[in-house]
Amino acid sequence: MKALVYHGPGIKSWDDVPDPKLIDATDAIVRVDTTTICGTDLHILKGDVPTVSEGRILGHEGVGTILEVGTSVRNHTVGDRVIISCISSCGVCTYCRSGNFSHCLADEGSSGIGWILGHLIDGTQAELVRIPFADNSLYQLPNQVSDDAALLLSDILPTGFEIGVQYGRVKPGDTVAVVGAGPVGLAVIATAGLYGAAQVIAIDLDQNRLDLAKQVGATHCISSGAGDWKEQVFSLTDGYGVDVAVEAVGIPATFDMCIQLVRPGGNVANVGVHGKSVQLDLQDLWIKNINISMGLVNTTTLGMLLKLVAQQKLPVDQFVTHRMALDDVVAAYETFGNAAQTHALKVLLSR
Q: What is the pLDDT of residues 135-182, one digit of tens each?
A: 999 999 999 999 999 999 999 999 999 999 999 999 999 999 999 999
**pLDDT the model gives residue 109:** 62
Task: Give Cα 183 distance to the centre of its chain.
Answer: 8
CATH homologous superfamily, domain 2-155+298-350: Medium-chain alcohol dehydrogenases, catalytic domain (3.90.180.10)
Residue 322's DSSP bridge partners are 347
- 253 to 2, 259, 278, 337, 347: CA distances (angstroms): 39, 10, 9, 20, 26
pTM assigned to the model: 0.94
**pLDDT the model gives residue 110:** 62
Cite the residue boundaries of each domain of the chain with CATH code 3.90.180.10.
2-155+298-350
**pLDDT the model gives residue 317:** 85
**pLDDT the model gives residue 48:** 83
**pLDDT the model gives residue 246:** 98
Collapsing DSSP to helix, strand or coil, 241 comes out as coil
**pLDDT the model gives residue 162:** 98
Whether the CB-CB separation of 106 and 97 falls below 8 Å is answered with: no
Cite the residue boundaries of each domain of the chain with CATH code 3.40.50.720.
162-294
Q: What is the pLDDT of residues 1-48, one digit of tens each?
A: 999 999 999 999 999 999 999 999 999 999 999 999 998 999 899 888
Domain 162-294 classification at class level: alpha beta
- Enumerate long-range contacts of 324-331, CB under 8 Å, 24 or more apart: 324/348, 324/349, 324/350, 325/349, 325/350, 325/351, 326/2, 326/32, 326/35, 326/125, 326/127, 326/350, 326/351, 327/2, 327/14, 329/4, 329/14, 329/37, 329/125, 330/4, 330/12, 330/13, 330/14
In which residue ranges of the chain is pLDDT below 70?
107-110
Q: Which helix (H) or strand (E) holds 283?
A: helix 282-285
Whether the CB-CB separation of 163 and 294 falls below 8 Å is answered with: yes
